[in-house]
A and B are shown apart, each in its own frame.
Chain A
Amino acid sequence: DAGVTQSPTHLIKTRGQQVTLRCSPKSGHDTVSWYQQALGQGPQFIFQYYEEEERQRGNFPDRFSGHQFPNYSSELNVNALLLGDSALYLCASSPGLFAYGYTFGSGTRLTVV
């Protein structure tokens, strides 16, 4: 049973560019959340998607946007990249709203230069 799959694993971008990160949830999970983890910090909640809609959003600017597809996979888009966007981006899936138990993917390491 495949867990949460994220791609790419590593990415280097230049300031001002745009990036798209992808996530396939664990089989049987329909809810996807995205987290940003800066070096030496705990993960910070970006947003959550359920039924192709953004359900909740953390304290992140509009440069961060997302999408969920009918097959429950999700994308995270970041526009106008800043050096401070360099981080590990984690996708977590769960079996429905209000369900406990999140499964995290291996993450995408984004470096902005």
Chain B
Amino acid sequence: ELKVEQNPLFLSMQEGKNYTIYCNYSTTSDRLYWYRQDPGKSLESLFVLLSNGAVKQEGRLMASLDTKARLSTLHITAAVHDLSATYFCAVDDKDFGNEKLTFGTGTRLTIIP
């Protein structure tokens, strides 16, 4: 069974600082997604990573994928308050024919002024 682990689970950081969220998964997969969720809201797609070495950037967020290490990272540069949210990584499960997303536990990010 595919397992997806994120760390840290909770992250409190000051505005202007940099930090990285890690996502490890247990079996081979070539599709990894990052989502943002605000309290009580649905999931907003941030990035789709489709191959080993893929790197995508949008504003202060940058995501990368290392399929050999089964690791993805979400890097936050010069954090601002608007980035406060819960971030999930999710992996397409090949054992389910890539028809099922398995989510990590989420990282609750709080940016402190």
Residues on A close to B: CB < 8 A?
31, 33, 35, 41-45, 48, 55-56, 58, 90, 92, 97-98, 100-107, 109
Contact = CB atoms under 8 A, between A and B. Distances in A.
Contact of A43 (B48, B96, B99, B103): B103
Interface of B: 4, 31, 33, 35, 40-43, 45, 48, 50, 88, 90, 92, 96-106
Per CB-CB distance, the 9 closest pairs between chain A and chain B, nearest first, are A42-B103, A104-B43, A106-B42, A45-B100, A56-B99, A107-B42, A104-B42, A56-B96, A43-B103
Contact of B104 (A42, A56, A90, A105): A42
Contacts of B97: 56, 97-98
A33 B90 CA distance: 14
Given A42-B106, A100-B31, A106 B41 contact: yes
B19 to A, nearest CB: 20
Given A100-B31, A102-B33, A41 B98 contact: no
B101 A97 contact: no
Given A42-B106, A90-B42, A90-B43, A102 B101 contact: yes
A103 B98 contact: no
Contacts of B42: 90, 104-107
A107 to B, nearest CB: 5
A98 B99 contact: yes
Contacts of A56: 96-97, 99-100
